[in-house]
Amino acid sequence: MNKRKGFTLIELLVVIAIIAVLMAILMPALNRVKKQARAVACMANLNQWGLFWKMYCDDNNGYWLSGAGGGSGRWWFEPMLDTYKVGEKMRCCPQATKSAGQNVHQGIGYFTSQAWQTGEYIGSYGPNGWMCNPRDTNPSGAVWGRSPISDHWRKPEWKGANNIPLFTGSWWVDAWPRDTDVPPDVVLGPPDRPNNSEMERNCVNRHDGFLNSLFCDYSVRKVGVKELWTLKWHKSYDIAGPYTRAGGMNPGDWPVWMRNFKDY
């Protein structure tokens, strides 16, 4: 009579161990592929936003939005959403789709994968507020307190438009960055300070040391987290300011969480 054939306990344990090793090797690679796919989808979103912004500008006699209207970002996204019916999927980078609540901008901080929320709206992109075309009759001489009003771009046709941010990944709904804005000390971010160090709103490690950005020539590219300080955010912005290599910034001068990122 033939003996029944099968795996011994040791053989089964060896097979399980081999599978565990293979999974340990494959999982990081799969996670990288997923992140890369989300970054590509994010760039596709921004390319689509480029079409929306261009159509709005063309329909508005070649000018951007005035910056007037409701607060908490409603000045830009309500006109855009009403015109182009942009859904939540288009407002969110695939890497950042969940919100921590409506008061995230009041000091809770943010995570790399966190979206903003204002009212019923959720998103993880925001415009460069300096692109606005302010109303000259604005009695305060500023847009939501951001001045001088002459620093706003107003329209897209400028020399170097490929270095003027229009719409970027962000953890809050809009931002008016300045070259003297201080980098956030921690990855979770400090309490939001409206009209003070607003680069913090854009300084988010969304794609492994980078975030994606749409520029005023409607091109889209990834931007290094430290590179944010070298972009021409407004007309008098110094692209060789204190937080750039040209301005004397050394790698060790950055907050710890940013030190390993590429310098610019």
- 30-74 residue pLDDT tens: 677 677 888 899 999 999 999 999 999 999 999 999 887 777 788
Looking at residue 4, its pLDDT comes to: 58
Does residue 105 lie in a domain region? Answer: yes
Does residue 11 lie in a domain region? Answer: no
Which of the residues in the chain have pLDDT under 70? Answer: 1-7, 29-30, 33, 100-112, 137-141, 188-191
Going 8 to 9 to 14 to 20, the CA torsion angle's sign is positive
Looking at residue 30, its pLDDT comes to: 65
Cα angle 143-147-151, degrees, rounded to a multiple of 5:
100
Identify the residue whose tokens are 């009759």: 137
pTM as predicted: 0.85
Closest CA to 236 of 158, 168, 178: 178
Does residue 51 lie in a domain region? Answer: yes
Does residue 9 lie in a domain region? Answer: no
Looking at residue 112, its pLDDT comes to: 66
Does residue 148 lie in a domain region? Answer: yes
Does residue 152 lie in a domain region? Answer: yes
Cis peptide before 28 (omega within 30 of 0): no
Looking at residue 138, its pLDDT comes to: 60
Does residue 71 lie in a domain region? Answer: yes
Looking at residue 107, its pLDDT comes to: 40
Looking at residue 101, its pLDDT comes to: 60
Looking at residue 106, its pLDDT comes to: 43
What is the domain range of residue 190? 30-258
Q: How many domains does the chain have?
A: 1
Round to whole Å and give the CA distance between 37 and 137.
46
Does residue 21 lie in a domain region? Answer: no
Looking at residue 128, its pLDDT comes to: 97
Question: 9-59 vs 74-84: helix axis angle to the nearest 10?
Answer: 90
